[in-house]
Amino acid sequence: MKALILVGGFGTRLRPLTLSRPKPLVEFGNKPIVLHQVEALAAAGVKHVVLAVSYRAEQLQKEMEVQADRLKIKITISLEEEPMGTAGPLAVAKSILAADNEPFFVLNSDITCNYPFQEMIAFHKSHGKEGTIVVTKVEEPSKYGVVVYNENTGQIARFVEKPQVFVSNRINAGMYIFSPSIINRIPLRPTSIEKEVFPHMAADGNLFAYNLDGFWMDIGQPKDYLIGMCMFLASLKDRFPERLSESLVGNVLVDPSAKIGSNCRIGPDVVIGPNVVIDDGVRISRCTLLGGAHIKSHAWLKSCIVGWQSTVGQWTRPRCVVETLTWFQPRS
């Protein structure tokens, strides 16, 4: 099987982190965002992953070559000369995706969840139509475009943008599986799959919804990155508790190379990256510390993302809120 991951955006919502590297290579849970997806795809039997890219392609290709060798899969960079939207990249990669009659995955790169790829394959084959969309439940559907579908069969009837009366509480989760014939619907130009392709597929009876169990989050902006981090850590506790630190408070993921001083209170919900140094007396909760960060003694951090090779000064009390990306300048 094959998969295409939409990684072409400029990552403006995660700046300044994305000023120095492409968003797919920003770490989430001590692993590049896109690598979570690539590993899950490889575990589901995908042998060829296409990354649809329009920004910093060289940097991404260099990293993905290493991962392709490790996972024993093929990873191809599909370079867009202009941003092609969410459907256009399928047309650009037509020669790869339509090379055989097998269905293929399409993913938005900002999504974190327990990727249900095996279940998606089985569901898609069971209905035999052109497309499957993964949908997830939200508490306030009026903020989203919702998917209206038959809960018994999964067949999608229509899409409703920001409904003011209740019609559904399921939204598009940004994960799809398609039969190659979908590419015949997509022109070779910037195209929205949500607005220009899906409504026609639904009208033809060719689009079905697979309901996602468990957590889901689009982590493409700082406040949602931190919410997704908490969800991810809770999922690790349920599925792989041995990966979390047993000596700290709550769900905390610590790279083995990190150094933590005495009389610290770390947690709950903290990710500590490689070569991070935390001095004595530090308090940290609901934060990600990226590689090489140094938190000096008696600093107190909450709801922060601390950048690579950055320093938080002694006795610092940044007034962080989840709507704000807290960024500390790298050490000179």
User: What residues act catalytically?
Assistant: 162
Give the rounded distance of the alpha carbon of 26 from its chain centre.
Answer: 10
Distance between CA atoms of 76 and 67, rounded to whole angstroms? Answer: 12
Distance between CA atoms of 84 and 86, rounded to whole angstroms? Answer: 7
- Partner residues linked to 300 by β-bridges: 283
Check if the beta carbon of residue 176 is closer than 8 Å to that of residue 134: yes
- Partner residues linked to 231 by β-bridges: none
Contacts of 292 (CB under 8 A, 6+ apart): 273, 274, 275, 276, 308, 309, 310
Question: Which own/partner pairs from 245-252 qualify as long-range (CB within 8 Å, at least 24 positions apart)?
Answer: 249/285
Distance between CA atoms of 153 and 134, rounded to whole angstroms? Answer: 14
Q: Report, in this order, helix, strand and coil percent for the chain, each rounded to 5.
A: 30, 30, 45
Query: The tokens of 287 are what?
Result: 């934060």
Distance between CA atoms of 32 and 159, rounded to whole angstroms? Answer: 32
Cis geometry, peptide bond prior to residue 16 (ω within 30 degrees of 0): yes
Task: Look at residues 260, 263, 308, 313 and name the one whose alpha carbon lies nearest to residue 288.
Answer: 308
Task: Look at residues 318, 84, 303 and name the one whose alpha carbon lies nearest to residue 192.
Answer: 84
For 126, the enclosing helix (H) or strand (E) is helix 117-127
- Partner residues linked to 160 by β-bridges: 146
Q: What is each CA distance from 268 to 24, 104, 224, 265, 288, in whole angstroms?
A: 26, 38, 17, 9, 11
